[in-house]
Chains A and B, each alone.
Chain A
């Protein structure tokens, strides 16, 4: 079969198998995979709770993966992930501020984390602008600087926080998919899906931009607009994900890598593949987080790295081609 066909087929399989995988995640409970109790109100409530979590896991995984794809393409760097420009520290600082000030109960936590993430990335992007579109090194440098500043302020808050506040902050920073409200899920989910679709629409521009800004210019792309738009969409999806579930790491770094090795670096295929695979991955990790040590719940951020790390290492080692030029 032609290579292009083979790669497209992988994307289709990811798409077609999604309901199956997500269904299995919904069925996964404290006693392993089992049927659901439709007849009691509790049973129905549990079902809807799980549907919410699986849906949240799917969109957040998809959003973080897409965002990771964008940043790896724009920074032309395999180490890039959605948090590389300091979102994690910025959003963490926003969340910690709300937690220690005691407003967390009012549902302000996701909003403040979302806004802090947007604010951090906007500051980084604005700092990196040098007349035109931000340069790679400008972005990385200002990202590191803003990130360190946010981190040290976060450390200050943590050192002053009460034991209870400290626990909340830590829990939030590890990330979890316990959904506060379905309306929040709807709003964040919509933002993430729109962001991911927008990123997919930019796929050809991302392709051209990985050839370098100058080459993209010659190919007829308004590079300043394209780079800024791509960064804005990545910021939106990341911030919406962070607002919804805290800092879930690893998804946005490793899923794009794995998908690049499976479907190639062409972003027209890579973006949907990474979105679907990221969704699967996080939904599955969350199912594991809920069930592995039930009734104790492991933070899903721990699972993603702990289980995902070795799993992807094996997969990547097996496949010689990584989609990157060595």
Chain B
């Protein structure tokens, strides 16, 4: 297959702000490619360079082998057409007038359009289903109709590449789908190479066989939707938690930002006492805070990473001096907090002689009827007490009714159930 366009070691930017450096990219004729990436990744700049709007500071862009910046404007327009996000013009042209503008570079200024020109315009309008609108003025069209008219104008150029900058951003669901289907038909039936940018990862995965993920001016991933839309890649690029799922009937990929559980109202917020240490509580503490629970911690040693996390999250905590065994005073304070809480959570804490006494807090709470949630993962490995039977004591707790959990979301669900079935008010 022919190469449609290629960026060879292209660097570009605006006024000393480089957007990308040494970008290397090639697209084969007939491909339908989506360019993805967060805002500011360089998608639009790439399109501007590709269409000759922006001259690169280094490197060459080739359209079918020819340097785009050495092509005559009219020749370039025969190779590559652009569909903008939204066409903005103050003039109320009719659809037919607009579509004919696609032929601007080919027409003699002093002659009427030839029969061939009229035929091409007519065909473009049929293709995008705007023939019936040909005498309507642009300001009387809906967003979807207008975008179809603009695509017809691009088609009237008879280009071999169509570049689209977020062509469906301003459209609602059904019109976006309609536009994408028109573009897909163009690609399949006419063999037009399509290069589009999009913020809609799902739409891109649905229609394009090749996705190029751009971040900070670099190609982060390039390949099939399955290869590019991976949670670990996307998380890095979009800086947020998200999930990629497969739609079982069609096999289509769906990317959804992972929404956090809804926040409870402050008045009903339960207080939870967390027994952690050695970094075992960090992520859970954050999740608890995000869910709106009031959290107390302890006993923790000062400078422990969990103590720092709790401090950063503004939680009340009972502290002991660094690297010191927990003393009776701290213990009684923590017990007091725990027996007054709505629930006590025991994290995946390693127990040693210094903090073994923390286990008493949980035992005490359970005895007094407070629900206790215990992380029972790797119990044996966490016992550093040399014969103090930590495992047996924890098993005993579980037998007496403590709830087991291993992953944060399980604990959160259990908590939510507790607050739903037996709402307990508590004070810190």
Contacts and interface: CB of A to CB of B under 8 A. Distances in A.
B53 A217 contact: yes
Contacts of A266: 93-94, 97
Interface in A220-261: 220-222, 260
Contacts of A204: 101, 104, 107, 109
Contacts of A325: 89-92, 138-139
A201 B52 contact: no
B77 interface: yes
B135 A221 contact: no
B104 A219 contact: yes
B163 to A, nearest CB: 8
A323 interface: yes
Which of B81, B87, B93, B106 has the most chain A CB within a 10 Å cutoff?
Answer: B93
Dominant secondary structure at the B interface: mixed
Contact of A265 (B76, B91, B109): B91
A212 B85 CA distance: 13
B51 interface: yes
A326 B88 contact: no
A264 B87 contact: no
B59 to A, nearest CB: 20
Interface in B79-115: 80-82, 84, 87-94, 96-97, 101-102, 104-107, 109-110
A211 B137 CA distance: 14
A212 B91 CA distance: 11
B81 A208 contact: no
A308 interface: no
Interface in B117-136: 135
Interface string A306-323: 000000000000000111
A221 B52 CA distance: 12
B51 A217 contact: yes
Contact of B90 (A2, A3, A210): A210
B139 A219 contact: no
B77 A220 contact: yes
A303 interface: no
A129 interface: no
A297 interface: no
B157 interface: yes
B73 interface: yes
B174 to A, nearest CB: 24
A220 B74 contact: yes
Nearest to A197: B110
Nearest to B102: A219
B90 A264 contact: no
A20 B350 CA distance: 105
A264 B73 CA distance: 28
Interface in B142-182: 153, 157
Contact of A207 (B73, B97, B106, B139): B97
B36 to A, nearest CB: 22
A91 interface: no
Interface majority SS (helix, strand, loop, mixed), chain A? loop
A163 B206 CA distance: 80
Contacts of A76: 89-90
B308 interface: no
A201 B109 contact: yes
Contacts of A220: 73-78, 104-106, 157
A39 interface: no
A323 B94 CA distance: 10
Contact of A3 (B105, B109, B135, B153): B135
B107 A264 contact: no
Contacts of B110: 201
B73 A217 contact: yes
A12 interface: no
A326 B104 CA distance: 26
A288 interface: no
Contacts of A211: 87-89, 101
A215 interface: yes
Interface in B402-421: none
A27 B104 CA distance: 44
A324 interface: yes
User: Which of A202, A266, A326 lies at the interface centre, i.e. has the most chain B CB atoms within 10 A of its CB?
Assistant: A266
B109 A202 contact: yes
B104 A207 contact: yes
A219 B81 CA distance: 7
User: Which of A204, A218, A219, A260 has the most chain B CB atoms inside 10 A of its CB?
Assistant: A218
A207 B87 CA distance: 13
A265 B157 CA distance: 21
A95 interface: no
Nearest to A203: B109
Contacts of B92: 264-265, 321-325
Interface string A114-152: 000000000000000000000000000000000000000
Contacts of A78: 90
Contacts of B94: 3-4, 264, 266
A265 B96 CA distance: 12
A205 interface: yes
Contacts of A212: 88-89
Nearest to B138: A325
Interface of A: 2-4, 73, 76-78, 201-205, 207-208, 210-212, 214-215, 217-222, 260, 264-266, 321-326
Closest 6 CB pairs of A and B: A220-B77, A220-B105, A265-B91, A218-B82, A325-B139, A220-B74
25 contacts: A4-B135, A77-B90, A201-B110, A203-B109, A204-B101, A204-B109, A207-B101, A207-B104, A208-B104, A210-B91, A212-B88, A212-B89, A215-B84, A217-B52, A217-B53, A218-B53, A220-B74, A220-B77, A221-B73, A265-B91, A265-B97, A266-B97, A323-B92, A324-B91, A325-B91
Interface of B: 51-53, 73-78, 80-82, 84, 87-94, 96-97, 101-102, 104-107, 109-110, 135, 137-139, 153, 157
Given A217-B51, A217-B73, 13 more contacts: A2-B135, A201-B109, A203-B109, A207-B93, A207-B97, A208-B101, A212-B89, A218-B77, A218-B80, A219-B102, A220-B73, A220-B78, A325-B92
